[in-house]
């Protein structure tokens, strides 16, 4: 579905999946908090709803990339939907006293902070994607899913271990992105002083709103965007997804993989 001059229409399948994910968030929250989290059927239903929403995140990116359906709406709405889903799950679990509030606060601070940081340095380029982003997102989703289920005994201990790994990956990848942003800003300002374009890296780019995008998930904000910090090859900023549209799990205006 394309509009004027071959531009994808805002209302297409990837964007419909993104909207579905947003609509599932309040349903998921109601199921999780119903009966104070004591209703087993509701907890299992919350787990299923969360899983479906997480799958739409992967699907919308794949479809958008393969069919060339990247839109400005998708670039903005997709990361909002991701943050809303993960944030609602973490806050809900903390409200039910199933997850310490410091964990929820730390993860949300990192996710929102890194997103803001990407926008702050976007004029200098986009931050090259690393494997940590996708690993972080994967561990977050698995950990939250395990916590949603009414587990006991050994299974509950496994959930704690996975959540611990997710938190560690969240912190480590956050620090890594801060270091990359500082370096990118320094290189961009130095290049501006001497009248050169910032260094580019075709090998692995990440869009401005999401860090779990793979090498083929190009990070443009439309048109010819900024280039990535890295090797020195010329980089195209056309749309491509952690997710382009893709850990960090994953933490857009993202060209969609058409997935974070």
Task: Evaluate if residue 29 carries a pLDDT over 70.
Answer: yes
Local confidence band at 153 (pLDDT 50, 70, 90 cut-offs): very high
Tokens of 249: 């799990």
Contact 109, 193 (CB under 8 A): no
In this prediction, residue 134 has a pLDDT band, given cuts at 50, 70 and 90, of confident
> In the CATH hierarchy, which fold is given to the domain comprising 4-194?
1.20.120
Nearest CA to 140 among 173, 156, 164, 113? 164
Q: Which residue has the higher pLDDT, 140 or 82?
A: 140
Most confident residue range from 99-103, 212-216, 255-259: 99-103
Average pLDDT of the chain is 77
- Give me the helices (H) in the chain, please: 13-33, 40-67, 72-95, 101-121, 131-148, 153-194
- Please determine, for residue 96, whether its predicted confidence score (pLDDT) is greater than 50: yes
Question: Of 7-11, 18-22, 101-105, which has the strongest mean pLDDT?
Answer: 101-105
> How many Cα atoms within 13 Å fall on the side-chain side of residue 242?
26
CA distance 184 to 221: 18
What integer is the mean pLDDT of 47-51?
Answer: 96
Q: Which residue has the higher pLDDT, 34 or 204?
A: 34
Distance between CA atoms of residues 92 and 109, nearest Å:
16
The pLDDT-based confidence of 213 (bands split at 50, 70, 90) is: low
Q: Is the pLDDT higher at 178 or at 67?
A: 178
Note whether 64 and 257 are within 8 A (CB): yes
Higher per-residue pLDDT: 144 or 129: 144
Res 237: pLDDT:
35
Is the pLDDT at 142 greater than 80, yes or no? yes
Q: Where are the domains of the chain?
A: 4-194
Q: Does residue 183 have a pLDDT over 80? A: yes
The whole-angstrom separation of Cα 188 and Cα 182 is: 10
Cα distance between residue 241 and residue 82, in whole Å = 14
- The yes-or-no verdict on residue 167 having pLDDT over 90 is yes
Burial of 183 per CB tally in 10 Å (0-12, 13-18, 19+): middle
Residue 30: closest CA among 108, 89, 97, 103: 89
pLDDT average, residue stretch 101-130: 86
Rounded to whole angstroms, the maximal C-alpha distance in the chain is 64
Q: Of residues 113 and 234, which shows the higher confidence score?
A: 113
CA quadruple 76, 78, 79, 81: dihedral, nearest 10: 120
Q: Could you tell me which residue, 12 or 85, shows the higher pLDDT?
A: 85
Residue 174 CA to residue 24 CA, distance in Å, equals 28
């Amino acid at each position: 579905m394309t509009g004027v001059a071959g531009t994808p229409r805002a209302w297409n399948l990837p964007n419909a999946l993104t909207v579905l994910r947003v609509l599932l968030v309040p349903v998921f929250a109601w199921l999780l908090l119903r009966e104070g989290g004591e209703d087993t059927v509701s907890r299992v239903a919350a787990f299923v709803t969360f899983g479906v929403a997480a799958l739409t995140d992967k699907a919308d990116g794949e479809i958008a990339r393969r069919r060339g359906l990247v839109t400005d709406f998708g670039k903005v709405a997709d990361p909002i939907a991701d943050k809303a889903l993960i944030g609602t799950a973490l806050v809900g679990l903390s409200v039910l006293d199933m997850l310490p509030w410091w964990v929820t606060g730390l993860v949300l601070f990192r996710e929102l902070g890194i997103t803001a940081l990407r926008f702050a340095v976007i004029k200098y380029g986009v931050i090259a994607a690393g494997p940590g982003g996708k690993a972080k997102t994967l561990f977050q989703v698995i950990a939250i899913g395990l916590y949603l289920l009414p587990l006991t005994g050994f299974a509950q201990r496994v959930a704690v271990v996975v959540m611990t790994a997710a938190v560690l990956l969240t912190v480590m990848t956050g620090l890594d992105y801060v270091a990359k942003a500082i370096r990118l800003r320094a290189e961009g300002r130095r290049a501006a002083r001497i009248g050169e374009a910032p260094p580019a890296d075709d090998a692995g780019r990440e869009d401005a709103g999401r860090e779990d995008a793979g090498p083929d998930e190009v990070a443009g904000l439309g048109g010819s965007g900024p280039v990535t910090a890295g090797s020195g090859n010329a980089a195209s900023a056309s749309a491509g997804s952690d997710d382009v549209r893709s850990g960090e799990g994953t933490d857009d205006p993202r060209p969609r993989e058409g997935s974070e």
